[in-house]
Amino acid sequence: MMSQKLRVTVWGENVHEHENPLVAKIYPDGMHCTIADAIAEEGNCEVRTATLQDPEHGLSATVLENTDVLVWWGHAAHGKVEDAIVERVQKRVWEGMGLIVLHSGHFSKIFRKLMGTTCDLKWRVSENERETLWVTRPGHPIVKGMDDHFVIPQEEMYGEYFDIPEPMETVLISSFAGGEVFRSGVTFTRGAGRIFYFRPGHEMYPTYHDRNVLKIIENGVRWAAPTWPAKGVSFGNRKMGWV
Amino acid sequence: MMSQKLRVTVWGENVHEHENPLVAKIYPDGMHCTIADAIAEEGNCEVRTATLQDPEHGLSATVLENTDVLVWWGHAAHGKVEDAIVERVQKRVWEGMGLIVLHSGHFSKIFRKLMGTTCDLKWRVSENERETLWVTRPGHPIVKGMDDHFVIPQEEMYGEYFDIPEPMETVLISSFAGGEVFRSGVTFTRGAGRIFYFRPGHEMYPTYHDRNVLKIIENGVRWAAPTWPAKGVSFGNRKMGWV
Amino acid sequence: MMSQKLRVTVWGENVHEHENPLVAKIYPDGMHCTIADAIAEEGNCEVRTATLQDPEHGLSATVLENTDVLVWWGHAAHGKVEDAIVERVQKRVWEGMGLIVLHSGHFSKIFRKLMGTTCDLKWRVSENERETLWVTRPGHPIVKGMDDHFVIPQEEMYGEYFDIPEPMETVLISSFAGGEVFRSGVTFTRGAGRIFYFRPGHEMYPTYHDRNVLKIIENGVRWAAPTWPAKGVSFGNRKMGWV
Amino acid sequence: MMSQKLRVTVWGENVHEHENPLVAKIYPDGMHCTIADAIAEEGNCEVRTATLQDPEHGLSATVLENTDVLVWWGHAAHGKVEDAIVERVQKRVWEGMGLIVLHSGHFSKIFRKLMGTTCDLKWRVSENERETLWVTRPGHPIVKGMDDHFVIPQEEMYGEYFDIPEPMETVLISSFAGGEVFRSGVTFTRGAGRIFYFRPGHEMYPTYHDRNVLKIIENGVRWAAPTWPAKGVSFGNRKMGWV
């Protein structure tokens, strides 16, 4: 039987938080916990966290079977995520699990495998780097309740070309103080699964304490939630006359 | 304040039902009422009907303002729908109202205006015209609960080329006894509004009594429902420094 | 028999050039002639011009039948373009004629009819409004030979939300001095016709003397060119067994 | 300096031709040679072939650097294609090389890596399995010169759900004698590269002697050809003020 509540797992690489005191100060329990708490506050969600350091990176078959939407933040240790776990996550996306990829997760194994591209981009960490995010799909569930734009006072710059396949929907586009632009909110589907990439979240800034950023993550989780049971996926040989 | 229930208006041309005894026998209260009853049975919807013969075709400004999703069936009298009403519906779609266009509604003024194409196709009414509909987006909310295909024993044939813009998603593709194929379930967005075209529904057959067909219409209504309030749509001149 | 050369018609509204001395100074023969000359210089094109003031706006049935790609600039007099001519152009796009819509042509009757949306946006004319255009589809024929970005020192600002359907491809995104962003190069198809909207070109600035801007228009013309004869578009009734 | 001629490499797995006398009879020199000859006949192409059995599968760095479009047929030995070579091909697609994937190539490592999905489907080899292919993008370069449909008298059935991402364009849809449908001609981009999957080509039937099938492969090669030099793809750190 299926839970009525949406079952969300927030995965955090959890490396910067232990190596950089500045990051630890902004996120004493890790970014994953800050994000998980915000999603949980919205209600009607069961939220758990998982990290790189957990056995099987916290993503056992049982955990994934009981996850409707997975949120992913990684940066310094993409290469340490085991291939077998990545393939397990990919298979689960194909079955219908939603996937929210945050910020430097653009270079994660799972995102690159699902996109089929390098997912590379331009970047800069600089003082006074203001990011302005513009809504390019008003009415989309992911920007529910948002104004036509919002500002993050301090963020890392990501600039085009962002090497992803043409998105299904481009929901947000950012400009930066240096004149660069970036497709900051983009959606895809792979198999029965919905994927939302959302740009903001450099570890050195308190981005995941920003009300607008959290609102979009929460909206994204709801948008990516599957319509279980996802029937109809069956392959292989068929005899003439079976229809 | 917004209604918690989804507010659905089912629009029927309501011409064949009065001119053709065979149609009247299959749909004694009109196709629109059969469809409306099925949607209402699913619960959590307030469903009303509107017809060509009503003042303002039943689509006054007030009705539209209080409609979350509009379902449209027309065939014999597309030309009798007043342009001012069509523009009113189009404007409401832009604001976020969902639109479900059924069968010969492909040639309605509203669908053609939203698509920007002729929306023309091939067709045939013939005995023993079996339609088989195949799911091409398993896991999509519109095919929730459906098997990988289903059969309508008797239907009108529609064949490609169907002159529509490339859909956002192709959810269902049909084959017919004569060997033709047709993109039978396709989605689009225009402004904040979601549009779902669904092929089946020739007036001479009991298609809108078919459990699978009704299930997809109900799913489509839920998929097309807006995320009110759709903020962020504001245009025009902006002074430097307003951001 | 078909011409080997690409047959291009550049349509100019030709109003500002006669009312504003500043515009007349930048474009003594009208913007349409400046653009047409640049396309012609590239070779292998037969280029003609047409204006609002010509009989049938210069877009007779014969002219359109002998046009492979139509380039459109309009602003002050969209409402004076006759509906019958607009429908003639639309029909020709459906048959395969390419269409390049420039700058304030976003509000032209023909573009709005093809899009099915309002095509509205934010805008500002301001001193020191620098536009930076970023390539978001490297390798696309429309940006052949371009670097990853280029700057127009002085331009009108256009800002999101730009109310168009989700493009087939987003080829260029602009940032402006005020922090706004805009999808400045976007592609669509309608029927057999390819459509390219390209943003730059405020009449008060020498934008159509800019080497990068002209290069993209020329590339766009080549990309939008049809693969005549566009066979296969045939609709209507078919008897069982015709396949 | 770039060759004026289009440089095409046709890759054949070349296994069935040596193990099954029936296949060898239909394609005495292998399917890859039959396809290569047809492309070469069209003129303005330099065509070479490569097979699984060649050193580096015939796809050395030099060969790929001098290939504009790669055509791929594989079936029995997908697993024997070395990962390093697959990654080399993928990288070259990202740079702009076109890729035409034929028939059972849907399960090749390269296609699955580029799609990010299982690329699974339903199938049947059965007598009297007629395939009818319908054009769903008239005017598209890939169907240049084709009628609105064509028939292959005997083919293997492939049926939906075909587990691919939503295509950029769906150019052809097939129906089969058993009532199944399949998206038989679909396009994608990854990086600067264009990808065309084309369904027909079971090794037991003379499909690659069929005039219509060959015409579409030739059209596809021209459509997928890159617009070298693909400039503008450059990633990594940028200093403030570089724009």
Burial of B154 (0-12, 13-18, 19+ CB in 10 A): middle
Count Cα neighbours of B93 within 13 Å in the Cβ-side half-sphere: 30
CB contact under 8 A, B231 and A147: yes
What's the rounded Cα separation, in Å, for the pair B105 and C202?
41
Count Cα neighbours of D10 within 13 Å in the Cβ-side half-sphere: 25
In total, the C-beta contacts within 8 angstroms joining chain A to chain C are 67
- Which of A:140-169 have CB within 8 Å of D? 157, 159, 161, 163, 165-166, 168
* Mean per-residue pLDDT over chain D, rounded: 95
Q: Give the DSSP per-residue string, A93-151.
A: HHHT-EEEEEGGGGGSHHHHHHH-S----EEE--TT--EEEEESSTT-GGGTT--SEEE
Burial of C128 (0-12, 13-18, 19+ CB in 10 A): exposed
CB contact under 8 A, D160 and B132: no
Q: Which helix (H) or strand (E) holds B184?
A: strand B181-190
CB contact under 8 A, C231 and D191: no
B133: left (phi over 0), alpha (psi -120 to 50) or beta: beta
Q: Which of D138, D169, D183 sits opposite B166 (nearest CB)?
A: D169
What's the rounded Cα separation, in Å, for the pair C180 and B243?
8
Query: What is the pLDDT, as a whole number, of residue D2?
Result: 45
Cβ atoms of residues D205 and A132 within 8 Å: no
What's the rounded Cα separation, in Å, for the pair A172 and A153?
17
Whether omega for the bond prior to residue C229 falls within 30 degrees of 0, making it cis, is: yes
For the stretch A68-92, pLDDT in tens is: 999 999 999 999 999 999 999 999 9
Cβ atoms of residues C80 and C108 within 8 Å: no
Helix (H, G, I), strand (E, B) or coil at D234: coil
Which residue shows structure tokens 């640049």? C38
Q: What percent of chain B has pLDDT over 70?
A: 98
CB contact under 8 A, C159 and A135: no
Which residue shows structure tokens 């021209």? D222
What's the rounded Cα separation, in Å, for the pair C229 and C96?
9
Query: What is the pLDDT, as a whole number, of residue B230?
Result: 67
CB contact under 8 A, C161 and A170: no
3-state helix, strand, coil in chain D (%, to 5): 30, 25, 40
The pLDDT of A192-213, averaged and rounded, is 97
- B/e letters for C131-164, b = 16+ CB within 10 Å, e = fewer, are bbbbbbbbbbebbbebebbbebebbbbbbbbbbb
All residues at 6 or more sequence positions from B43 whose CB lies less than 8 Å from its CB, including other chains: none
Considering only alpha carbons, which residue of chain B is nearest residue A150? B243
Q: How many residues does chain C have?
A: 243
Whether omega for the bond prior to residue B208 falls within 30 degrees of 0, making it cis, is: no
**Residue D196 identity:** F
Of the listed ranges A226-235, B170-179, C54-63, D208-217, the one predicted with least confidence: A226-235
Distances (CA, A) of C115 to C97, C173, D19: 16, 19, 54
Query: What is the pLDDT, as a whole number, of residue B205?
Result: 97
C232: left (phi over 0), alpha (psi -120 to 50) or beta: left
Strand partners, C181: C175
Query: What is the pLDDT, as a whole number, of residue A1?
Result: 35
Count Cα neighbours of C188 within 13 Å in the Cβ-side half-sphere: 27
CB contact under 8 A, B160 and D132: no
CB contact under 8 A, B146 and A189: no
Q: Which of C163, C235, C243 sits opposite B120 (nearest CB)?
A: C235
What's the rounded Cα separation, in Å, for the pair D143 and D133?
11
CB contact under 8 A, B230 and A138: yes
Nearest CA to D119 out of D133, D105, D131, D132 is that of: D105
**Residue A163 identity:** D
Count Cα neighbours of C94 within 13 Å in the Cβ-side half-sphere: 22
Q: What ipTM, to 2 d.p.?
A: 0.95
In total, the C-beta contacts within 8 angstroms joining chain B to chain D are 66
What's the rounded Cα separation, in Å, for the pair A98 and A223?
8
Q: How far is D174 from chain B (nearest CA, A)?
A: 7
Q: Give the DSSP per-residue string, C70-121.
A: EEEE-STTGGGS-HHHHHHHHHHHHHT-EEEEEGGGGGSHHHHHHH-S----
The pLDDT of D79-94, averaged and rounded, is 98
A211 touches chain D (CB under 8 A): no
In total, the C-beta contacts within 8 angstroms joining chain A to chain D are 107
Query: What is the pLDDT, as a whole number, of residue B42?
Result: 81
Query: What is the pLDDT, as a whole number, of residue C208?
Result: 98
Subunits in contact with chain D (3 or more CB pairs closer than 8 Å): A, B, C
pLDDT at B106 over 90: yes
Whether omega for the bond prior to residue D229 falls within 30 degrees of 0, making it cis, is: yes
Burial of D131 (0-12, 13-18, 19+ CB in 10 A): buried
* Bridge pairing between strands B236-237 and A69-73: unpaired
Strand partners, B112: none
Q: Give the DSSP per-residue string, C167-222.
A: PSEEEEEEEETTS-EEEEEEEEEETTEEEEEE----TTS-GGG-HHHHHHHHHHHH
Considering only alpha carbons, which residue of chain C is nearest residue B126? C240
CB contact under 8 A, C116 and B121: no
Start-to-end C-alpha separation, chain C: 30
Residues of D in contact with C191 (CB under 8 A): 138-139
Residues of A in contact with D99 (CB under 8 A): none
- Please give the radius of gyration of chain B, using alpha carbons only, rounded to the nearest integer: 18
The pLDDT of D137-142, averaged and rounded, is 96
For the stretch D207-216, pLDDT in tens is: 999 999 999 9
CB contact under 8 A, D232 and C192: no
Start-to-end C-alpha separation, chain A: 30
What's the rounded Cα separation, in Å, for the pair D202 and A236?
16
Q: How far is C52 from chain D (nearest CA, A)?
A: 29
Query: What is the pLDDT, as a whole number, of residue A231?
Result: 65
CB contact under 8 A, B232 and A148: yes
What's the rounded Cα separation, in Å, for the pair A4 and A87?
27
What's the rounded Cα separation, in Å, for the pair A41 and D75?
51
What's the rounded Cα separation, in Å, for the pair C17 and C15?
5
The pLDDT of D121-135, averaged and rounded, is 94
Distances (CA, A) of C108 to B2, C27, C104: 36, 21, 8
Cβ atoms of residues A120 and A160 within 8 Å: no
Residue D165 neighbours by CB distance under 10 Å:
22
pLDDT band at D12 (very low <50, low <70, confident <90, very high): very high
Q: Which of B94, B117, B242 sits opposite C117 (nearest CB)?
A: B94
pLDDT at B101 over 90: yes
Q: What's CA D35's distance to the chain center, in Å?
A: 11
For the stretch A37-55, pLDDT in tens is: 999 998 789 999 999 999 9
What's the rounded Cα separation, in Å, for the pair B236 and C124?
8
- Which of D:9-38 have CB within 8 Å of C? none
Start-to-end C-alpha separation, chain D: 30
Strand partners, D134: D149, D173
Taking only the tens of pLDDT, chain C with its 243 residues reads 344 799 999 999 999 999 999 999 999 999 999 999 999 998 789 999 999 999 999 999 999 999 999 999 999 999 999 999 999 999 999 999 999 999 999 999 999 999 999 999 999 999 889 999 999 999 999 999 999 999 999 999 999 999 999 999 999 999 999 999 999 999 999 999 999 999 999 999 999 999 999 999 999 999 999 988 766 578 888 888 888
Strand partners, C173: C134, C183
Subunits in contact with chain A (3 or more CB pairs closer than 8 Å): B, C, D
CB contact under 8 A, C175 and A170: no
Nearest CA to A197 out of A168, A176, A177, A235 is that of: A168
Residues of C in contact with A160 (CB under 8 A): 134-136, 148-149, 173
CB contact under 8 A, A94 and D163: yes
Query: What is the pLDDT, as a whole number, of residue B235?
Result: 85
The pLDDT of A118-137, averaged and rounded, is 95
- Mutation for D interface: A93, A160, A190, A197, most D CBs within 10 A: A190
Long-range contacts of A86-92 (CB under 8 A, 24+ apart): A86/A110, A86/A113, A88/A59, A88/A61, A88/A64, A89/A59, A89/A64, A90/A114, A90/A190, A90/D116, A92/A64, A92/A65, A92/A67, A92/A193
Residues of A in contact with C123 (CB under 8 A): none
Of the listed ranges A106-120, B151-165, D1-15, D59-73, the one predicted with least confidence: D1-15
Query: What is the pLDDT, as a whole number, of residue B239?
Result: 85
What's the rounded Cα separation, in Å, for the pair C181 and C177?
10
Nearest CA to D138 out of B160, C116, C115, C187 is that of: B160
CB contact under 8 A, D149 and C243: yes
CB contact under 8 A, D140 and C227: yes
Subunits in contact with chain B (3 or more CB pairs closer than 8 Å): A, C, D
Considering only alpha carbons, which residue of chain D is nearest residue C192? D139
